Amino acid sequence: MAVERAYYHCSHGHHGCCPWDTDLGLGDDRLSPTTRPLVALAGTLAPFKQSQDVLRRLAGLSISASTCRRVTQAAGDRLCQQYAAGVVVLPGRPAAWDFSVPDRDGQSFPGTVAYLGLDAFAVATRPAARKGVEWRMLYVGLLYDPHKEHTVYVTDFDFEAVAARLRSYAVAFRLSATEVQVAITDGGNGLERVLRQNVSDALQFVLDYWHEAERLHKFAGLLHAGDSGAVASWAERAKSILWEQGGEALLRHLRAIVLPAGADKELSEELRRRVAYYEENGHRADYPAYRARGWDVGSGPTEAGCKVLQGRLKGAGMRWSVAGSEQVGALKALYASGEGLWDAFWAQPQCPAA
């Protein structure tokens, strides 16, 4: 259907305008208010060239890949600016989350708990002043309920910003109403500090058990190099101590190791690091106590969230501008969260283009 409307031109300023376009919500991209979110969604979920084909097949829209990129990144830029101003996207009526601890192995547990996670993955970006590729760490933060039915994701290259947004969403979805909030991490540098400072000093930190098991396997490979049977036996014994008795017991087990004279320098250094690590973090690895309360001890939801988000940003041959990867990452996190956040973002008033 062709629509005619008035066009006004200023001969002195050499500019023209169609006032009705503004009333209809048409911007510089010439897309309608209902088409623009669809184009941005396609660009959020798939590479821009592929999005062009998807839009043509599913919606009959003839939109170039470059237009899809501009529309998607413009929406992401608007979202990032909103976050930078300290305002998060919220649905009109946030869904009520169930924080009760689910039954496990035929056993019921009292109390309520909410979970937080924070991790990062590398994104290939184009350096501004030189050729080549620069890998930058994009942080992923998430909140989720014990039943894994509700999750909110946020992303940023600054983990301080990620933690601040987690706090805002934690307030909105009433995580503070739970008896305890548990942050499950891989023990990366600075993660506990930034979460305590920006979310809550009352957070209970738990080291991801599976990361710890992997580190023990690595150490066993150095301790019994060349003997696969001894490697497997020592690793299983150490993991059993960690699982059944906790980090403090494993620390005592590590301290009891006596290396032979002339031991490999790498082995000696790794043993020193393992002992120092559990001296500092042993109390965050009290797995018998965590399991007795029905808590999770693995960061599976965080790992899965990173894979969901990096699937859009780490395609073969992809090279992003820093701003572009941040914009698309923020949109992908918003859409992956569910909870009505995507629709709430597009329902917000938008300032028309000048």
Gap between the Cα atoms of 344 and 347, Å rounded:
5
- pTM for this one? 0.88
3-class DSSP state of 328:
helix
What average pLDDT does the chain have? 91
Sign of the CA dihedral running 192, 196, 201, 205: negative
Residue type, position 44, single letter: T
Contact 142, 302 (CB under 8 A): yes
What is the per-residue pLDDT across 248-300, written as a single tens digit (0 to 9) for each?
A: 999 999 999 998 888 889 999 999 999 999 999 888 999 999 999 999 999 99
Residues 143-166: tens digit of each pLDDT:
999 999 999 999 999 999 999 999
Q: 3-class SS at 349?
A: coil
pLDDT in tens, 321-342: 999 999 999 999 999 999 999 9
- The Cβ-side half-sphere exposure at 35, using a 13 Å CA radius, reads 19
Instruction: Please give the helix or strand (H or E) that residue 125 lies within, else none.
Output: strand 113-125
Instruction: Report the alpha-carbon distance of residue 177 to residue 99 in Å, rounded.
Output: 9
